[in-house]
Amino acid sequence: MGWKKRVGKELVWFFVTALGGLSLWLFLFDILDVDIDYVPLVVGVIVTLIFVYIVRLTLWVFKKNM
């Protein structure tokens, strides 16, 4: 896979994950009846990004070992 294709794929993963995390946290804030503020929203998106990339790295390691 070429360098440009790999960077494009990672950017798509990043933005889709960020949008998914944003919608997830907005949904959870609405359910829990929490006031929407920028700081918890940004922290929620960052936590979602970290979680998704940890899962992706774990699956990549297992794939390489099999």
pTM value is 0.72
Question: Which two tokens mark 36?
Answer: 């929407």
Give per-residue pLDDT as tens, 1-22.
788 888 888 889 888 888 888 8
Q: How many angstroms separate the CA atoms of 44 and 25, rounded?
A: 6
Domain residue spans of the chain = 3-65
Going 62 to 8 to 50 to 18, the CA torsion angle's sign is: negative
Is 41 within 8 Å of 22 (Cβ atoms)?
Answer: yes
Q: Which pLDDT band, with edges at 50, 70 and 90, does 38 fall under?
A: confident
DSSP designation for 46 = H
Is 44 within 8 Å of 20 (Cβ atoms)?
Answer: no
